[in-house]
Amino acid sequence: MEKLIEDTAARIFMEQTEDANKLWAALEESGFTRAWVPESLDGFGLPLEDGFELIRMSAKALTAVPFAETLLANYFLATVDQHLPGAKFTLCTTTDSLDNIPFADSADYLLRLERGTIEVWRFNLVDQVNELSGNSAGQIILEGESPVIAAAAPDWLSSNVYEQMGALVRSAQLCGAMEHILSITLQYTSARQQFGRSLAKFQAIQLILTRIAAQTASSCAALQYAVMTPQLSQAPDWIAIACAKAKASAAAGLVVTDAIQAHGAIGYTQEYMLSNYIHRIWRWREDFGGETYWQIKIGQHYTQPDSGSLIEDIFGQTNTKC
Amino acid sequence: MAVTSSMNHFNFPLAPSTEAENSLRAEVREFLQDEIKTGGFTPGADCWMSESCPEFSAKLGARGWLGMVWPKKYGGHERSPLERLVVTEELLAAGAPVAAHWIADRQTGTQILRFGSEQQRQSILPRMAAGTCFAAIGMSEPQAGSDLAAVQTKADKIPTGWRLSGRKIWSTGAHRSDYMIVLARTSPADGRNRQVGLSQFLVPLQAQGVEISGIKDIAGNVHFNETLFDGVELEADALLGLEGNGWAQCMGELVLERSGPERFLSNFVLLDRALISLRGQLDKHGAAILGELITTLNALRLMSRSIARQLENGLSPDTEAALVKLIGNSFEQDVVTRVRQLLSTIPRDQWPDELAPMLDQSIFRLPPGTLRGGTSEILRGMIARQLGMR
């Protein structure tokens, strides 16, 4: 990613996080919500991997606006030449259920893919869901008889691709959250004194931190490859995405457990900032398929009677698609 | 608490594989498949330690797949580290008998290239690249395992060169090797700083006073040894690099030793065989178990490739390399555990042919994975230091 873009993004995410309206205005103004929309459609036209880096940064900054959802929704909308300026979007994160939609109280529209049609709906919040997201999720009903926009999706944009791109977005968020948890936990264990020295000096604590590091690093590696595989306006390499989401979802749970353990009881309080990351992780790891969902798909792919060979895939054309 | 850093802790830049790499991979794979078909070798777990075959090593040498990154004038082929990685990945994935030359090709040759005399480079490297000259590692001692600076082997200056006395242990393949790089004390430690006063020596194992005795592993096989140096007289140029610089040189050698794909591919053959053998027989739970292994393998492979690329660009991704060995060794053990779980519901006499012996082989051969080349505990210490905890 270009330095200028990275610096701008860092500034926006770090400085504006307190005020959701200001943050959203800054994200709109910078063009980041339209990062994946081609310039010909008044978008930023960034490569996909850059958009995923923005998403990773937004997760570290605990962005409390539907930035990632809107980025992806705008990408899908652009495939049918549509644009709703300034709109905040949410997505269906579990098949087609409307029972637990993220940002149900603040997004303007829901974008879903229904039998090959991209639909954009206004909706009403029925019930806040007291759940794990940290951001307000809720049960919604669609407003009106018909969607605001209904357009036939291009052939490559199947419901599988909707799910895969969503999974990759969540993987990037999970990686950002894990990286930040590693930072927080390193800082906390270095500052906190017990038995006359900092916790970080104890081998038992170092073991915990190296476990967090191992889970985070392997998730980031899988992510960094997976974000290079989709080409704009093409179905992505689903195995790479499945590997990234399965790895990140499984890793994030372990990282949370270890981070709380390294902190002690403070890590389990709402007041301490760790809780915000934990809430999000507990939601994101399930969205668009948890680890077991993707592990089964991967395992089945390689054990079907006519399945391809692992060596071809893992050591074959790897890294040729970027 | 304010956390200002938005930096990524870990970076794994990836690059597309080049045409040259892809065609090399296809060439190596075809060669290996032919070898298996014609009985050249039977795939084995832990092949880089446990499957030794000098004839096979010579075949690889003839094809230019050893000493790949060394200069041509020393018998090398001036290929890129990523091209070498392609070859090592394929050899390991096939379970090929590469143990004879593995250490020479991976680290000893490079150390000679870095620190050896011109005469040593010219006389030894071409033979190593040809797969006809092998090497062992001389670091651990009976009283110096993880605490390597505690080595007691010593080298004294004599008019003709050096006299070496001491004992090295766990020297894999020493009984079939020509050389060993020995870490020895050449002057006393400086107070508590024991890393000074150590030097590396290139020792011909045929020299008088060298006594190699095999140590049987838990399966009864001899691949590692105790090597006794009973006042072995060495020529002056046996000193590798600088006197007193042995610790730093040894650390550089360990980076070569630790960072390769053998730290997670030792029993790829078992996973691959299981996938083929269990085709069509797995329920969702079984599929999830295999899927999880594959996601970890995928991550390790990407990390390893990225590290090779960073090394090529002159960077030293030490934390990342230590993480690959740590995660990789634990992954190798998971493969065994998971395949056992998958097979647990099938009566043993109905296990797919070839899978049972491969599993047994892995069970017997994998335990030292988390020990050799630095224990997981030593690696965690390194990672913690790099995270700023020490």
Interface of B with A in 267-326 (CB under 8 A): 268, 271-272, 275, 278-282, 284, 286-292, 294-303, 305-306, 319-320, 323, 326
What pLDDT does residue B8 have? 66
What pLDDT does residue A316 have? 64
Q: Within chain A, which residue ranges are assigned CATH 1.20.140.10?
A: 159-315
Domain B137-244 listed as CATH 2.40.110.10: yes
Contact A302 B303 (CB under 8 A): no
What pLDDT does residue B10 have? 75
* A1 CB neighbour count, 10 Å cutoff: 16
Consecutive H or E run containing A10: helix A3-15
Q: Pick out chain A residues at pLDDT < 70.
A: 17, 130-135, 316-322
Percent share of chain B, pLDDT over 70: 98
Averaged pLDDT, B280-308: 93
Consecutive H or E run containing A124: strand A123-129
> How many whole angstroms separate alpha carbon B245 and alpha carbon B82?
29
- The 3 state secondary structure assigned to chain B is CCCCCCCCCCCCCCCCCCHHHHHHHHHHHHHHHHHHHCCCCCCCCCHHHHCCCHHHHHHHHHCCCCCCCCCHHHCCCCCCHHHHHHHHHHHHHHCCCCHHHHHHHHHHHHHHHHHCCHHHHHHHHHHHHCCCCCEEEECCECCECCCHHHCCCEEEEECCEEEEEEEEECCCCHHHCCEEEEEEECCCCECCECCCCEEEEEEECCCCCEEEEEEECCCCCEEEEEEEEEEEEEEHHHEECCCCCHHHHHHHHHHHHHCCHHHCCCCHHHHHHHHHHCCCCCCHHHHHHHHHHHHHHHHHHHHHHHHHHHHHCCCCCHHHHHHHHHHHHHHHHHHHHHHHHHHCCCCHHHCCCCHHHHHHHHHHHCHHHHCCCCCHHHHHHHHHHHCCCC
Consecutive H or E run containing A102: strand A101-102
Interface of B with A in 335-374 (CB under 8 A): none
Interval B207-218: pLDDT, tens: 999 999 999 999
Contact A303 B275 (CB under 8 A): yes
> How many whole angstroms separate alpha carbon B31 and alpha carbon B24?
11
Interface of A with B in 267-296 (CB under 8 A): 273, 291-292, 294-296
* SS3 at position A144: coil
Active site (catalytic) residues of B: 257
Contact B16 A291 (CB under 8 A): no
Residue of B6, B324, B339, B379 best to disrupt the A interface, most CBs of A under 10 A: B6
> How many whole angstroms separate alpha carbon A106 and alpha carbon A103?
5
pLDDT at B281 over 90: no
> How many whole angstroms separate alpha carbon A279 and alpha carbon A300?
31
Residue closest to A182 by CA, chosen among A136, A220, A126:
A220
Averaged pLDDT, B318-331: 91
Burial class, A273, CB count within 10 angstroms (exposed 0-12 / middle 13-18 / buried 19+): middle
> How many whole angstroms separate alpha carbon A266 and alpha carbon A191?
14
Cα–chain center distance at A236: 16
CATH class for the domain made up of A3-152: mainly alpha
CATH class for the domain made up of B19-133: mainly alpha
> How many whole angstroms separate alpha carbon B379 and alpha carbon B385?
10
Closest Cβ opposite residue B295 in set A184, A209, A298: A298
> How many whole angstroms separate alpha carbon B218 and alpha carbon A244?
38
* Contact status, residue A300 vs residue A278, Cβ threshold 8 Å: no
Closest Cβ opposite residue B389 in set A200, A294, A300: A200
Averaged pLDDT, B280-306: 93
* Contact status, residue B358 vs residue B343, Cβ threshold 8 Å: no
Contact B9 A315 (CB under 8 A): no
What residues in B contact A319, CB-CB < 8 Å?
A: 14-17, 305
Contact A222 B89 (CB under 8 A): no
Interval B85-126: pLDDT, tens: 999 999 999 999 999 999 999 999 999 999 999 999 999 999
Closest Cβ opposite residue A60 in set B6, B90, B286: B6
Tokens 């092998």 belong to residue? B134
- Residue A199 forms contact with B (CB below 8 Å): no
Tokens read off for A133 = 């997201």
* Contact status, residue B93 vs residue B48, Cβ threshold 8 Å: no
Interval A233-264: pLDDT, tens: 888 889 999 999 999 999 999 999 999 999 99
- State how far residue B11 is from chain A, nearest Cα, in angstroms: 8
| Cβ-Cβ contacts under 8 Å for B55 (sequence gap 6 or more) | none
Averaged pLDDT, B230-236: 98
What residues in A contact B270, CB-CB < 8 Å?
A: none
Consecutive H or E run containing A284: helix A274-284
* Contact status, residue B288 vs residue A299, Cβ threshold 8 Å: yes
* Contact status, residue A49 vs residue A228, Cβ threshold 8 Å: yes
ipTM over 0.85: yes
- Residue B36 forms contact with A (CB below 8 Å): no
- Across A131-145, B287-301, B339-353, the highest mean pLDDT is recorded for B287-301
* SS3 at position A117: strand
Residue of A57, A238, A298 best to disrupt the B interface, most CBs of B under 10 A: A298
- State how far residue B302 is from chain A, nearest Cα, in angstroms: 6
Would you place residue B7 in the very low, low, confident or very high pLDDT band (cuts 50, 70, 90)? low
> How many whole angstroms separate alpha carbon A169 and alpha carbon A93?
11
Averaged pLDDT, B171-177: 96
Residue of A7, A225, A241, A313 best to disrupt the B interface, most CBs of B under 10 A: A225
Chains A and B form CB pairs within 8 A to the count of 206
Domain B259-386 listed as CATH 1.20.140.10: yes
What residues in A contact B83, CB-CB < 8 Å?
A: none
Half-sphere exposure of A27 (CA within 13 A, CB side): 31
- Residue B5 forms contact with A (CB below 8 Å): yes
Query: Cα torsion for A114, A116, A117, A123, to the nearest 10°?
Result: 20
What pLDDT does residue A124 have? 96
What pLDDT does residue B2 have? 34
Tell me if domain B19-133 and domain B259-386 are identical in fold: no
Contact A180 B3 (CB under 8 A): yes
Q: Where are the domains of chain B?
A: 19-133, 137-244, 259-386
CATH architecture group of domain A159-315: Up-down Bundle (1.20)
Closest Cβ opposite residue A222 in set B280, B302, B381: B302
Residue closest to B161 by CA, chosen among B100, B233, B90:
B233
Question: Which phi and psi angles does A119 have, rounded to 5°?
Answer: -120, 135
Q: Within chain A, which residue ranges are assigned CATH 1.10.540?
A: 3-152
Averaged pLDDT, B313-338: 91
> How many whole angstroms separate alpha carbon A39 and alpha carbon A46?
9
What pLDDT does residue A310 have? 81
Averaged pLDDT, B278-302: 93
What pLDDT does residue A296 have? 97
pLDDT at B330 over 90: yes
pLDDT at B4 over 60: no
Averaged pLDDT, B369-373: 91
Interval B144-163: pLDDT, tens: 999 999 999 999 999 999 99
